[in-house]
Structure 1
């Protein structure tokens, strides 16, 4: 039976990954800051699907956290077949007005932790000539996003980094996929401090749908998937057809409070 490690597994897309993979008889290592939420989810999935679920409470923003997580997995004598780098957060507002420490923590979690965990587990997968890594980016990776400048920049990094790794690993037996969700049902908007008027969006799709589309793309060894329908495909391709200044101005009008 294969094992998946999921960061940010206590809610949203991460929780949906855990639930879907459990139905596919995949053992799980669930990682997030909230021990209680993880334990509740783990107990539920173990009871329903008779799989092994390990819980590791870890704040990946902290120095040495990724190495600690990797060491814990080794101590448990678990081989990770699927790494899902899902943990991340955003922040809404004009850059100069936002808390600098929060912006730096966003870079640490969205970029540095993802890179470190990928490096730690990728080598093992290459030596076994099998395995997969899913990095969760965002459709904002394709566009500069005024009032979410750091978040969009971190997700652009994840997109570029992941697609490069996909090309590097085509002959290693390791699949690399970056998923770029559009608006998804989660607590992302609340955590990012969006204005209330922007939080209620009827176009938000269920996290379960994002997960199902992602696993389909992974099975096909695709490098990238944008979820959420034709409208999102149009948005992410705007920079190909319009001047960058025009694109930034259009996006700024959409995101300005």
Structure 2
């Protein structure tokens, strides 16, 4: 019995991935923080789709926690899909952001993605055909003031994924990266998107739609998944000089701070 492992699965895009894969007939292992409702999601999946769904409630900012749960997964389950969805962002002036805030972004977006992949890679290699999908962001294509560390962390996810894909292109493990634009994944994110005005809403898609497209393209062998609503954004970001896109995006994000 093969399983799909999804991190950050209690809400938003992670939850949407969990339901999409269950709908397609996959058993799932869901990972999120304690007391975020991930157990209820497992129960819901088993009732709706008649698929096995298990969970680990753990803080993925701690490397020892990742090593512990992945060792347990490797001993007990066959993993054919890994979705590194866990991540966090936010909008703050760099001087106002405390060390824990910055460290959480780095640990979840960079460390957790890397170590989860490393720990489960041999498990994935044992299966006939396996997939890794890392969740980056449209923010990976431009620096943005007042977010500083978040876009930088997503550049890491993007380059890490592309490099790993090339390294193992002749193996049974296929690696892809998806770069979603704005998604109203929770009330806080929704409020921040609304404050950004028009720029914040270009390419806006629901988590369910992003998950549906991303999984479909993953299985088709798409190494770089650009969602339909974001292809125009990606083209514009490629064409505009960095100083101009930095100015325009930062101006949109600055509205979040003014409206707080």
The 1:92–1:228 alpha-carbon spacing in structure 2 relative to 1, beyond 3 Å, is farther
The 1:93–1:162 alpha-carbon spacing in structure 2 relative to 1, beyond 3 Å, is same
> Post-superposition shift, 1:54?
0.9
> Post-superposition shift, 1:67?
0.2
Aligned equivalents of 1:42, 1:239: Cα separation in 2: 39
Q: How does 1:92-131 map to 2 (within 5 A)?
A: 92-128=91-127, 130-131=129-130
TM-score (normalizing by structure 1): 0.91
Runs of 4+ in 1 over 4 A off after TM superposition: 199-203
Would the aligned equivalents of 2:61 and 2:112 in 1 still touch at CA under 8 Å?
A: yes
Would the aligned equivalents of 1:35 and 1:56 in 2 still touch at CA under 8 Å?
A: no
> Post-superposition shift, 1:216?
1.5
**Which residue matches 2:217?**
217
Unmatched 5+ residue regions in structure 2? 256-260
> Post-superposition shift, 1:173?
1.3
> Post-superposition shift, 1:235?
2.3
Q: What's the CA shift string for 1:47-67, capped at 9, x where partnerless?
A: 122211111101101241110
Root-mean-square deviation over aligned CA pairs: 2.2
> Is 2:134 the counterpart of 1:135?
yes
Would the aligned equivalents of 2:2 and 2:77 in 1 still touch at CA under 8 Å?
A: no
Q: How does 1:78-227 map to 2 (within 5 A)?
A: 78-128=77-127, 130-187=129-186, 190=188, 194=192, 197-198=195-196, 201=201, 204-227=204-227
**Which residue matches 2:258?**
none
> Post-superposition shift, 1:69?
1.4
Report which stretch shifted further, 194-203 or 243-252.
194-203
> Post-superposition shift, 1:97?
1.6
Q: How does 1:229-240 map to 2 (within 5 A)?
A: 229=229, 232-240=230-238
**Which residue matches 1:64?**
64
Aligned equivalents of 2:28, 2:39: Cα separation in 1: 12
Aligned equivalents of 2:17, 2:156: Cα separation in 1: 22
